């Protein structure tokens, strides 16, 4: 069974993500195999908030080259989580 921290890898700490904090929207990098339901349950368990909506974005890894060697960066999945009105994730609010 997956724990909340197997699903949520880390928060996205960008200027655009900070701007959404006032609206109750938080952005996380999540496991590429995680579903919306798993993400919702993980955020609710880890941060003790009620999740209203989960949107996900999949990013395909770019081609990377080092000299004559060609490889690929890892694929990523980003989750944009909206919490119920009046609630916030205090752990992330303090980072601003």
Q: How far is CA 58 from CA 61, 74, 76, 89, in A?
A: 10, 11, 6, 24
Domain extents in the chain: 4-94
Structure tokens at 52: 């209203």
Strands 25-30 vs 51-59: parallel, antiparallel or unpaired: unpaired
Count the neighbouring beta carbons within 10 Å of the beta carbon of residue 76. 15
Helix (H) or strand (E) run with residue 19 in it: helix 15-20
Rounded CA-CA distance 41/34 in Å is 11
Q: Which class is domain 4-94?
A: alpha beta
Per-residue confidence band for 94, with pLDDT thresholds at 50, 70 and 90: confident
Distance from chain centroid for Cα 57: 9
- Quote the pTM value: 0.89
Average pLDDT, the chain: 93
User: What is the per-residue pLDDT for 96?
Assistant: 66
Per-residue confidence band for 45, with pLDDT thresholds at 50, 70 and 90: very high
Name the least confident of 6-10, 21-25, 53-57, 92-96: 92-96
Per-residue confidence band for 1, with pLDDT thresholds at 50, 70 and 90: low
């Amino acid at each position: 069974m997956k724990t909340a921290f197997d699903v949520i890898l880390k928060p996205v700490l960008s200027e655009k993500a900070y701007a959404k904090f006032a609206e109750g929207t938080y952005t996380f990098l999540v496991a590429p195999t995680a579903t919306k339901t798993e993400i919702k349950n993980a955020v609710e368990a880890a941060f003790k908030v009620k999740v209203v909506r989960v949107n996900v974005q999949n990013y395909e890894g770019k081609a990377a080259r080092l000299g004559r060697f060609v490889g690929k960066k890892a694929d990523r999945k980003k989750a944009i989580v909206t919490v119920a009105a009046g609630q916030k994730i205090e752990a992330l609010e303090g980072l601003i």
